[in-house]
Amino acid sequence: MIWGSVKEQYSKIWEYGEEIRRMNPGSTVVIKCSEGDGDGNPRFERLYICLAALKKGWKEGCRPILGLDGFFIKRFHTGQLLTTIGVDPNNQMYPVAYALVESECRDTWSWFLKLLGDDLMLNNAYGVV
């Protein structure tokens, strides 16, 4: 009752993306939806977020190391959460970007890594592990 229905929450995903862009200018928020069930409402597929402050922090202060991982989500919206972490100067984990995708496959990882590479300007990724 407090949070409302899942469908209602997903209908606010566009507002969520705009709020991230407004509060942290330079952030990347990519929302991918499909046509839906023919009811005129798009169906959520993927969400990618890389906050501008985290991009800048990784470029200016972290080691040239990126860790990638994905794990299952088994609640209302099943799928995978893909994450990227860096390593800060204190050898602590540093979040960089994340994406909620429909499944873990070559297509979703390629999509995630293309967006991540563009955000971090990893043209040839030389020197980044």
List 29's β-bridge partners, or say none.
49
Q: Residue 94 and residue 83: Cα distance in Å, rounded?
A: 11
Nearest-5° angle of CA 24, CA 26, CA 29?
85
The angle, 0 to 180 degrees and rounded to 10, between the axes of the packed helices 106-120 and 52-61 is 70
CA separation for the pair 47, 81 (Å, rounded) = 10
40: left (phi over 0), alpha (psi -120 to 50) or beta: left
β-strands 63-73, 28-34 pairing = unpaired
Domain borders along the chain are 6-120
pTM over 0.85: yes
The tokens describing 17, both together, are 């993306």
Task: Dump pLDDT digits (tens) for 18-57.
Answer: 999 999 999 999 999 887 666 667 778 899 999 999 999 9
Q: Does residue 2 have a pLDDT over 70?
A: no
Instruction: Encode pLDDT of 54-108 as tens digits.
Output: 999 999 999 999 999 999 888 767 789 999 999 999 999 999 999 999 988 999 9
